[in-house]
Chains A and B, each alone.
Chain A
Amino acid sequence: DTEVTQTPKHLVMGMTNKKSLKCEQHMGHRAMYWYKQKAKKPPELMFVYSYEKLSINESVPSRFSPECPNSSLLNLHLHALQPEDSALYLCASSQVGTGGNGELFFGEGSRLTVL
Chain B
Amino acid sequence: AQSVAQPEDQVNVAEGNPLTVKCTYSVSGNPYLFWYVQYPNRGLQFLLKYITGDNLVKGSYGFEAEFNKSQTSFHLKKPSALVSDSALYFCARRDGGATNKLIFGTGTLLAVQP
> Which residues of A come within 8 Å of B, CB atoms?
2, 4, 6, 31, 33, 40-43, 45, 48, 50, 55-56, 90, 92, 94-97, 100-109, 111
A-B contacts, CB under 8 A, total: 75
User: Are A48's CB and B99's CB within 8 A?
Assistant: yes
Our pick among A40, A96, A104, A109 for the contact of B102 (Cβ within 8 Å) is A104
Given contacts A40-B109, A55-B99, A105-B46, 17 further A-B contacts (CB under 8 A): A4-B43, A33-B99, A33-B101, A40-B88, A41-B106, A42-B104, A42-B107, A43-B104, A45-B101, A48-B101, A50-B99, A94-B99, A101-B51, A102-B51, A106-B36, A106-B43, A108-B43
**Residues of the B chain whose Cβ atoms lie less than 8 Å from the Cβ of A106:** 36, 43-46
> CB within 8 Å of A: which residues of B?
32, 34, 36, 41-46, 49, 51, 88, 90, 94, 98-102, 104-107, 109
Q: Indicate whether A96 sits within 8 Å of B98 (C-beta atoms), given known contacts A42-B104, A42-B107.
A: yes
Q: Check if A102 sits within 8 Å of B42, measured CB to CB.
A: no
With A42-B105, A42-B106, A108-B43 already in contact, the answer to whether A103 and B99 are too (CB < 8 A) is: no
